[in-house]
Amino acid sequence: MSAMLELDAVSAGYGETEILHGINLHVDRGEIVVIVGPNGAGKSTAMKAVFGLLNIIAGEIRLAGEAITNTPPREVVMKGVAYVPQSANVFVSLTVEENLEMGAYVSAENPAARIEEIFELFPPLREKRRQPAGSLSGGQRQMVAMSKALMLHPKILLLDEPTAGLSPKYRGEIFQIVQNINAAGATILMVEQNAKQALNIAHRGYVLVDGENRHTGTGQALIADQEVARMFLGATAERPA
């Protein structure tokens, strides 16, 4: 069975500047895969590469076996990839419900039923459905961003630092939500700064440094690895392991 998403020796960057140098990674169906690494390692860049937001200089990206290298964002969405950027990931002047409707834009079906399902997954959003997304707290906004991306049952969900800037309480909640979504059947590729917590819930992880693969393994194996730990599992501004 081919992986849901494969990056095959991908070099990519902005214009002429190359940021990723031949990286390899794959995500199998039903997995949570986490990309961690120091700042500037190219983690977010890898995600943007999948979504056609950069110049792919070399290599290939495949979705369920089909090449999607350099495909424009709108088509990538239609093929079943959903992307939640790190910031500015909701339409602040639209209501929660309207945000969800926009998440289903490419489909001609009535989104009402799916919206109800989403509210089952994210109960706090139900009572806020008619409020502008901009009036919600950071954690709730993140929920809106993720649920918006889930509207069309994506084959794979790309999350770019979902807990960035959130209080510890919300961080835990978000990681729990990621697991819930995964349990409900979603395949997830996640970039995270909170490496330990992220690797804890992940099936597998990749460590990128300076745009290259450095380590890979199961979530637990990476947490236990000495070098990875030294690199940044204890040395970040997070509370110690």
Partner 1 sequence: MMEFLNFYLVPGVVLGCIYALGAIGISLTFGILRFSNFAHGDTMTLGVYITLSLVQVSGLHPLAVAPVAMLLTTGLVLGMDLAFFKPFRKSPTIMLVIASFGLMLMIRSMIQFFWGVQLHALRIGIEKMAFFGPFAILPRHIMIVGAAVVLMMAVHLMLTRTKIGKAMRATSDNPELAALTGIDTELVIRATWAMGASLAVAAGVFLGLDTHVETMMGFKLLLPMFAAAILGGIGRPYGAVAGGLVIGIVEELSSYPWIGETPLLSPGYKAGVAFAIMVAMLIWKPQGLFRGRQF
Residues that bind partner 1 (CB under 8 A): 51, 73-74, 77-78, 83, 85, 88-94, 98, 101-103, 105-106, 148
Question: How much is the CA Rg of the chain, to the nearest whole Å?
Answer: 17
Q: How far is the CB of 35 from partner 1 (least distance, A)?
A: 18
Q: How far is the CB of 78 from partner 1 (least distance, A)?
A: 7
Decide whether 93 or 218 has the Cβ nearer to partner 1. Answer: 93
> What's phi and psi for 104, nearest 5 deg?
-100, 20
Residue matched to tokens 């993720």: 146
Q: How far is the CB of 162 from partner 1 (least distance, A)?
A: 15
Structure tokens at 32: 């949570």
Q: How far is the CB of 113 from partner 1 (least distance, A)?
A: 16
Q: Is 187 helix (H, G, I), strand (E, B) or coil?
A: strand
Decide whether 98 or 225 has the Cβ nearer to partner 1. Answer: 98
Q: Is 6 left (phi over 0), alpha (psi -120 to 50) or beta?
A: beta
Decide whether 71 or 197 has the Cβ nearer to partner 1. Answer: 71
Decide whether 57 or 102 has the Cβ nearer to partner 1. Answer: 102
Q: Say if residues 89 and 145 touch (Cβ distance below 8 Å).
A: yes
Q: Is 172 helix (H, G, I), strand (E, B) or coil?
A: helix
